[in-house]
Amino acid sequence: MEVYAVCLAIKDRRVPWYAKVLGGLTIGYAISPIDLIPDFIPVIGLIDDLIIVPAGISFVIKLIPKNVMEEYRLKAKVEHIRTRTKWVIACLIVSIWVLTTYLALRFIYPLFFK
C-alpha cells in the first residue's frame, strides 16, 4: 500500500521534484524484472529486494510533505490500481530495458551493427 501511495503522491504538484525523481526510480526498480544483484545468487540476490526498495520508499516518504502523504495513503486504501495502468507501466519498463540492452550491445559489439 505504501508503494502505491507513493506512486500516487509523486504526481502531485506539492511534492518536491527531487522526491518525484527518487520515488520514480525506486518504484521503477521495485517493479522492474531486472535487479542489480540477480535473485538466483543465494542470499545476496534477495537482499537487494529486502533492503533497497524499503529503504528507498521510506526515504521518499520522508521527502514528501506529511499532509500530502496522508492524503494519498487514504486514497490508496480506497482506490485500486487499474489494469490499464499496470500494462502501461510494464510496457514502459520493458521498453527501457530493451533500449538499454540494445545500446549496451551496440557499444560493446560495434562490428555487429554496421
63-76 confidence digits (pLDDT tens): 999 999 999 999 88
* Total Cβ atoms within 10 A of residue 75: 13
Instruction: Look up the pTM and report it.
Output: 0.65
Tell me what the pLDDT averaged over the chain comes to.
83
Determine the average pLDDT of the residues in 56-68: 93
CA torsion sign for 59, 61, 62, 63 is positive
The residue ranking higher by pLDDT, 16 or 34, is: 16
Q: Are residues 77 and 97 in the same domain?
A: no
Domain that holds residue 8: 2-81
Same domain assignment for residues 11 and 50: yes
Does residue 50 share a domain with residue 8?
yes
Residues 88 and 76 in one domain: no
Residue 93's pLDDT is 81
pLDDT score of 106 more than 70: yes
Taking the C-alpha atoms of residue 28 and residue 7, their distance in angstroms, rounded to an integer, is 10
Looking at the fold, whether 64 and 9 belong to one and the same domain comes out as yes
Regarding whether 102 and 53 lie in a shared domain, the answer is no
- Which residues, at least 6 apart from 2, have a Cβ–Cβ distance to it below 8 Å? 57, 61, 73, 76
**Same structural domain, 66 and 95:** no
